């Protein structure tokens, strides 16, 4: 799916701004047909999550539908063009109406969807656009939510009602089976864009290297008759050309895309047909697993970086370009070279920034929370497989051409311990499916939760072993000697598996400004000691080819006894101020090379 652009053939009209809004009060979902603007209308910002935009607890605790509305006019000048309405992300479930008619339903809150307006509206007309957004998560959604309050009732805490009694409790709420606030709404941009009637539907670029030359295998998906491709370099000079809807282009003495702090060189494919034009930036780089090494351009890459979130004050999970630019600056300030889009695909603009800055991405789906302890086998009882395949397909369709994307993560922390056989079947079949969809055939993994790694038979089948471990925090709390002992027992196991291993999460909640002469949990000194002790163990293992502290920054979660103003494991505060651990990693990572740190 191509990102909308304005050029001599195409026009983009921004529909972001202040829209009309109201939360559904549970009385009547018919509201959408009788414009609710007249009813308890509020002003709301698009793009943004609605949860933190009003000082009203209903917005944080809302469970169910919310309604957005605005009008827009299509310029007469677009009369001869194909018109498309595009939503970059609506979280989680959207119903889109134009002039009161349902024109689209979309499930999935982190990937774009489009609506062709052919036969629905005409240029020169003014339209009423209404969007109903459902924020509910369940055992049938990704991310996964718990059903019917089971997470809060039926526990063995004294005085808590039983699950049966809970059924009589009417106030429903979202019970996320994940540790980030369930921000919802029109979280990313909304645009009207036009193309010629005969247009370029999609472009696929598969780069490779032949000696000093770059090879670009391209495919242009179009009904146009003539296709002309010019490859231009960073200075805009044409370095190669080709004709036809698909082909192979050789770029002599090509400049490769290399991760920060090396040069992330980008070319542009200027694609013209008899009626349309699309310019696509791309990089020439190769990605390959070689034994226990992760090779980029044939060199052993070491992942220095983070698990992140799209999370910022006021915006919630809403698209925030200023934070994205700031985060890129901080990633480089710390000497990092990568991040994982935990736990959902991020806004496309962040991937384009990463292409330009040379920051490597592990691209993750919204499949988080697939597990219910020993209560039930999620692979037999959660209705998620079809949707999981849909989000993988849409993720690869959107991000396939980004040089910064080097690996797909199918999920975060699914249960692979309590039902090992069905877990192995689910993940190995989905692994094959993911590989089959990627034209560049990048490595595929999922991120494994702290578990009984000898029982888990799925993690070891992935191209890269990605594990989240909290020795010294959630277990062996505060005892870093015992934590390192236990960590090494596990690393001894992974040593026998012979795969590259990335520690995709490890961390300690830390209150900024909390200092102790003798490090204890929650102090800044403990966070530094925790990381220094564990990194020292990583440095002894050649197959540990990446360290991603959890998390880049503090972030918001549902309230709970373990969350004092959200999750505080950030190296930075939520408003991006460094804790001592950020300075520690800056010192460590600026002295670790991007390539060749491990043989």
Task: With beta carbons less than 8 A apart as the criterion, state whether 465 and 430 touch.
Answer: no
Strand bridging mode 190-195 / 82-87: antiparallel
Which of 69, 424, 505, 524 does the annotation list as catalytic? 505
Closest CA to 507 of 550, 557, 447: 550
Binding mask 543-582 for ligand E8X (x = CB under 6 A): -------x----------------x-x-------------
Respond yes or no: is residue 505 known to be catalytic: yes
Respond yes or no: is residue 425 known to be catalytic: no
Which of 413, 424, 524, 547 does the annotation list as catalytic? 413
What DSSP state is assigned to residue 2? Answer: P
Least CB distance to ligand E8X at residue 579 (A) = 15
Task: Examine residue 450 and tell whether it contacts ligand E8X (CB under 6 A).
Answer: yes
Least CB distance to ligand E8X at residue 172 (A) = 24
Least CB distance to ligand E8X at residue 340 (A) = 11
Give the bridge partners for 233, in sequence order.
Answer: none
Task: Examine residue 505 and tell whether it contacts ligand E8X (CB under 6 A).
Answer: yes
Pick the closer one to ligand E8X by CB: 448 or 592: 448
- Residue partners of 215: CB distance under 8 A and separation at least 6: 207, 208, 209, 248, 249, 250, 251, 284
- From 240-248, 378-386, 420-428, 468-476, span contacting ligand E8X (CB under 6 A): 468-476
Please state the φ and ψ torsions of residue 500, each to the nearest 5 degrees: -65, 145
- From 67-75, 98-106, 378-386, 466-474, span contacting ligand E8X (CB under 6 A): 466-474
Task: Examine residue 468 and tell whether it contacts ligand E8X (CB under 6 A).
Answer: yes
Task: Examine residue 470 and tell whether it contacts ligand E8X (CB under 6 A).
Answer: yes
Angle, in degrees to the nearest 10, between helices 580-589 and 524-538 = 30
Q: Using the rule CB under 6 A, which residue among 24, 88, 134, 179 binds ligand E8X?
A: 179
Other beta carbons within 10 angstroms of residue 386's beta carbon come to 8
Give Cα separations from 443 to 15, 206, 396 (angstroms): 37, 15, 13
Closest CA to 111 of 89, 143, 130, 93: 89
Residue bearing tokens 């998906």: 221
Pick the closer one to ligand E8X by CB: 450 or 556: 450
Task: With beta carbons less than 8 A apart as the criterion, state whether 178 and 368 touch.
Answer: yes
DSSP string across 155-174: -SSTTPPPHHHHTT------
Question: The tokens of 298 are what?
Answer: 């044939």
Pick the closer one to ligand E8X by CB: 474 or 485: 474
Number of residues that bind ligand E8X (CB under 6 A): 12
Pick the closer one to ligand E8X by CB: 145 or 358: 145
Least CB distance to ligand E8X at residue 473 (A) = 8
Least CB distance to ligand E8X at residue 550 (A) = 6
Task: Examine residue 364 and tell whether it contacts ligand E8X (CB under 6 A).
Answer: no
Site for ligand E8X in 304-363 (CB under 6 A): 343
Least CB distance to ligand E8X at residue 488 (A) = 17
Question: The tokens of 577 are what?
Answer: 């101020």
Question: The tokens of 278 are what?
Answer: 């699309």
State whether the Cα torsion 333-344-136-91 is positive or negative. Answer: positive
What positions carry a catalytic annotation? 413, 505
Binding-site ranges for ligand E8X (CB under 6 A) = 179, 343, 413, 449-450, 468, 470, 474, 505, 550, 567, 569
């Amino acid at each position: 799916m191509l990102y909308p652009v304005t050029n001599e053939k195409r026009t983009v009209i921004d529909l972001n701004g202040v829209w009309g809004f109201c939360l559904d009060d549970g009385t009547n979902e018919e509201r959408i047909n009788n414009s609710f603007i007249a009813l308890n209308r509020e002003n709301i910002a698009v793009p943004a999550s609605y949860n933190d935009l009003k000082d009203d607890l209903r917005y944080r605790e809302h469970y169910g539908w919310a309604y957005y509305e605005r009008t827009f006019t299509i310029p007469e000048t677009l009369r001869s063009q194909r018109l498309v309405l595009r939503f970059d992300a609506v979280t989680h479930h959207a119903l889109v109406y134009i002039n009161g008619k349902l024109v689209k339903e979309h499930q999935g809150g982190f990937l774009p969807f489009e609506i062709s307006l052919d036969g629905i509206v005409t240029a020169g007309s003014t339209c009423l656009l209404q969007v109903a957004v459902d924020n509910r998560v369940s055992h049938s959604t990704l991310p996964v939510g718990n059903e019917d309050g089971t997470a809060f009732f039926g526990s063995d805490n004294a005085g808590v009602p039983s699950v049966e009694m809970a059924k009589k409790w009417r106030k429903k709420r979202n019970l996320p089976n994940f540790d980030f606030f369930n921000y919802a709404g029109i979280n990313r941009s909304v645009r009207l864009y036009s193309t010629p009637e005969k247009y370029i539907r999609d472009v696929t670029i598969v780069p490779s290297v032949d000696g000093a030359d770059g090879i670009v295998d391209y495919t242009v998906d179009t009904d146009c008759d003539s296709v002309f491709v010019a490859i231009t370099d960073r200075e805009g000079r044409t370095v190669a050309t080709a004709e036809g809807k698909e082909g192979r282009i050789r770029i002599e003495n090509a400049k490769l895309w290399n991760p920060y702090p090396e040069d992330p060189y980008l070319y542009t494919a200027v694609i013209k047909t008899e009626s349309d034009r699309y310019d696509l930036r791309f990089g020439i780089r190769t990605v390959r697993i070689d034994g226990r090494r992760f090779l980029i351009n044939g060199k052993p890459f070491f992942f220095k970086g983070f698990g992140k979130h799209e999370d910022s004050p006021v915006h919630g999970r809403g698209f925030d370009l200023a934070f994205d630019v700031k985060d890129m600056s901080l990633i480089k300030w710390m000497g990092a070279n990568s991040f994982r889009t935990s736990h959902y695909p991020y806004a496309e603009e962040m991937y384009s920034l990463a292409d330009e800055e040379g920051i490597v991405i592990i691209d993750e789906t919204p499949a988080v929370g697939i597990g219910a302890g020993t209560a039930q086998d999620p692979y037999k009882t959660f209705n998620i497989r079809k949707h999981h395949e849909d989000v993988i397909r849409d993720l690869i369709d959107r991000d396939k051409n980004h040089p910064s994307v080097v690996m797909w993560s199918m999920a975060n922390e699914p249960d692979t311990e309590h039902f090992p056989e069905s877990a192995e079947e689910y993940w190995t079949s989905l692994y094959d499916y993911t590989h089959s969809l990627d034209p560049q055939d990048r490595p595929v993994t999922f991120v494994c939760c702290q578990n009984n790694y000898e029982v888990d038979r799925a993690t070891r089948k992935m191209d890269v072993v990605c594990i989240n471990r909290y020795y010294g925090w959630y277990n062996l709390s505060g005892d870093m000697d015992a934590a390192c002992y236990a960590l090494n027992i596990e690393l001894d196991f992974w040593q026998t598996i012979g795969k590259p291993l990335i520690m995709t999460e490890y961390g300690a909640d830390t209150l900024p400004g909390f200092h102790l002469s003798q490090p204890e949990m929650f102090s800044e000194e403990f966070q530094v000691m925790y990381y220094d002790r564990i990194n020292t163990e990583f440095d002894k293992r050649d197959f540990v080819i990446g360290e991603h502290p959890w998390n880049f920054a503090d972030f918001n979660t549902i309230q709970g006894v373990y969350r004092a103003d959200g999750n505080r494991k950030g190296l930075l505060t939520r408003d991006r101020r460094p804790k001592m651990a950020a300075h520690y990693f800056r010192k460590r990572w600026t002295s670790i090379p991007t390539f060749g740190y491990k043989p």
